[in-house]
A and B are shown apart, each in its own frame.
Chain A
């Protein structure tokens, strides 16, 4: 069971590495900027 857990955890990290985590981070940054902008607009309009 322990071996299986180990494999699962390693595979999970390997998968996130191969998915190109950096491209994902850049995308997250863009979305974060858009969300923050929307919140500021809401705050200014209300």
Chain B
């Protein structure tokens, strides 16, 4: 009875804590869609028309950068009571959005994109590990820090760091350092990837694969991929499928790293890690939802009207999440990097990853 009361209290506390921030994002997302429609309502040749059709200012860009501008314009004055709802409820709405993207693909498409994506991801991860280990030794960085930097850079950002930290016995400040590097790079990617894409006229599918394999954080990666050409959905579909393939590799890499660490430390069998439990716990469940919908759409295709409703909800949910990503992008993160050597290693490995993944994107997706 006491436990039930405590649970009820926690439940109502969570609603009270998260509702304001969530509603704030919903309102901003609604304003974003109306703002885009308003821009489109101007005639050909007008500045708003050029913004939408020549400079590719779409709802994803307006939502993310609108959020970033509000957050960083207000700085420390940004109402703290909004943050829990933005972080806990609004930002994660990208995940059901990704799942719904599965309904627009067939299983064959998922396998085709996913297979090329997995090959790309494996090459990229191997490259990042080799580069980071080589540079890390040159810059005299500890082995566990090198592994942490490699996993953060190669797999899927923050989740990879959190999953890897206990396996390699990293210090908390090392995890924080790598997470900061990932977030900093994510902000840079949000700003520059679309510009590079439009400037070099990168094909949609190549761009999607590039964003999925070289931007670490899932939300930022999907945002970077979606903002390119949200209308024709090609970059969105590819970035979703390839990023999920990349995320799915996380538990297996954590296990592989556990083996390496165990053999290096000459651990006894009884002190080894519970590998099956790690795979079960770290496997991203929403990937299964995405696959289930793709299989459903293969054997019993969704009708045009059903797909229209699904795509509308996909847009609402992902936009809400993107606004959350923008509002959570605090540019003060640039100030917290302490010590230049690991950052140099991360940046150099990241730069090589960006170039190689783009070339691989052209190889696998054109």
Contact = CB atoms under 8 A, between A and B. Distances in A.
Interface string B272-291: 00000000011011101100
Contacts of A5: 76, 332, 335
Contact of A8 (B179, B285, B332): B332
Contacts of A31: 92, 95-96
Contacts of B317: 35, 39
Give chain A's interface secondary structure class.
Answer: helix
B313 interface: yes
A40 B332 contact: no
B306 A44 contact: yes
A43 B309 contact: yes
Interface stretch (B53-61, B155-163, B256-264): B155-163
Interface string B85-113: 00010001101101110010000000000
A21 B163 CA distance: 10
Contact of B285 (A6, A10, A30): A30
B310 interface: yes
Given A10-B336, A29-B284, A21 B158 contact: yes
Contacts of A35: 93, 96, 317
Chain B CB within 10 Å — which of A6, A8, A36, A46 has the most? A36
Chain B CB within 10 Å — which of A31, A43, A44 has the most? A43
A6 B175 CA distance: 16
Given A22-B163, A32-B286, A35-B93, A43 B336 contact: no
B332 A9 contact: yes
B92 A28 contact: yes
B313 A26 contact: no
Given A10-B336, A39-B313, A32 B162 contact: no
Give chain B's interface secondary structure class.
Answer: helix
Interface string B157-176: 01100110000000010011
A17 B284 CA distance: 18
Interface string A1-44: 01001101110011001000110111011111101100110111
A35 B288 CA distance: 14
Range, interface on chain A? 20 to 34
A13 B87 CA distance: 12
A19 to B, nearest CB: 10
24 contacts: A8-B332, A13-B179, A14-B172, A14-B176, A17-B172, A22-B159, A22-B162, A22-B163, A26-B281, A28-B92, A29-B285, A31-B95, A32-B95, A32-B285, A32-B289, A36-B96, A39-B100, A39-B310, A39-B317, A40-B103, A40-B293, A40-B310, A42-B309, A43-B313
Given A2-B335, A17-B175, 9 more contacts: A6-B335, A9-B330, A13-B179, A14-B172, A30-B285, A32-B95, A36-B100, A39-B100, A43-B302
The 4 closest A-B pairs by CB, nearest first: A32-B95, A29-B285, A35-B96, A36-B99
